[in-house]
Structure formats: structure tokens, C-alpha cells
Amino acid sequence: MATVATRLLTAEEFYEWANRPENRDRRCELERGEIVEMSRPGKRHGMVCCNTAGILRNHAIRRKKGYICSNDTGVIVKRDPDTVRGPDILYFEDATEVEEVETGFGESPALLALEVFSPQDTPGKVMRRVQDQLRFGTQLVWVVDPEARNVTAYQAGQEPKVFEIGMELTGGDVLPEFRCAVAELFALPGQ
């Protein structure tokens, strides 16, 4: 049986493909030049993402520095062949005005990338995403697990640190002023 070789896409070609009208509702990433379809996460996943994005945005507002990207914003984490990841949340401090924020896929690492574990995720898949971010230069990656209700923090060259319910989540040396109760990520208003 013959195999058909397909040409690998660049990040720029993927951006154009992803923004065609027929592809806009699809959730995809580019992994080593190949399009990979992603599943749609559930409602709890979305709630945890929104809670966390809100907490991080409030932190940026208090500091009058930084901005949050959500909705699987694409960042080019590797070139030749290109890989474009879409973490659930990103925290940047690389711009001071809206006009400085890239309109296409990001090409500079975030200070913080956040992945919320989905029922369809496997530990191996999530760790590949974490390692891609760290190799790219993202200083801190949080993996939030809605089922276990904890956050695992990853930094290059350091052992992972797990923050459990009842603990305070901190930004370590990357976001030294950031603090919130882990429980806030998983709570409804009034809880």
C-alpha cells in the first residue's frame, strides 16, 4: 500500500487556514506542521478557565501591567516544522498599548501559560504541551485539574509544585505579587 506524502504547513499557512470561514468553528493546533483537531471541553472546564482568567485579569489591573489572552490563543512555540499551541489562558507583559499586541499568532513567550485538564486529555498529551511552552521560553506553566481540584506549577529546571485546595496559589518568582486561594479557581460566586 502506498503512502501519500503531505506537505507540512507553516504557522502562517495554518493561521490563514484556521481563519477561513469553513474552519472558524473548529478547534485545532499545528503540531510539527500537521493540523491536529482538538475536542471541545465541557462546561466545568469553561467555568474554571473563566474564573482563572478573571482572577489573573484583576491581578493585571491592580498592577497596571500585563494582559490576559484566552480562548486558546495561538502561540508559535517551535519553528521548522512549526508547532502552534493554544493554551487555555496566557499572561503576558510584553506590551503597554493595545496596538503592540500581535493580531496573528503570538511569537513571544508568555510569562504564564495555563492548561485546564479536560476529560479527553491524557497526562502524556498535557506534559507535551507543558514541555513545548517551557522550551519556548514561557517562565511558568500551570496545569489546573478540575477533578482533583489542584494546580501543578512547572518551571524549567525545577521540580513541579502542587497546590491543593486549602492552599494559596502563588506566582512564585515569575509573578511575585500574585496570590489567590486555590479554591477560588473552582468556586461559584457566593461559595
Q: What is the pTM of this model?
A: 0.91
* pLDDT over threshold 80, residue 39: yes
State the pLDDT confidence band at 1, using cuts at 50, 70 and 90: very low
**Distance from C-alpha of 76 to C-alpha of 79, rounded to nearest angstrom:** 7
Range 60-83 average pLDDT: 94
Average pLDDT over residues 1-13: 72
Asked whether the beta carbons of 28 and 49 are under 8 A apart, the reply is: no
Is 50 exceeded by the pLDDT of residue 157? yes
User: Is it the case that residue 110 has pLDDT exceeding 90?
Assistant: yes
> DSSP per residue over 14-59, as a string?
HHHHHTSGGGTT--EEEETTEEEE-PPP-HHHHHHHHHHHHHHHHH
**pLDDT confidence tier of residue 127, bands split at 50, 70 and 90:** very high
pLDDT interval class at 181 (50, 70, 90): very high
pLDDT band at 158 (very low <50, low <70, confident <90, very high): very high
- Domain 11-186 - what CATH class? alpha beta
Tell me how far CA of residue 108 lies from CA of 124, 136, 137, 178, in angstroms: 25, 8, 8, 22
* Statement: residue 34 has pLDDT above 90: yes
User: The C-alpha cell of 145 is what?
Assistant: 485539574
Average pLDDT for 13-42: 91
State residue 7's pLDDT score: 85
Amino acid 107: pLDDT = 93
Domain residues of the chain, as ranges?
Answer: 11-186
Assess whether pLDDT exceeds 60 at residue 5. no
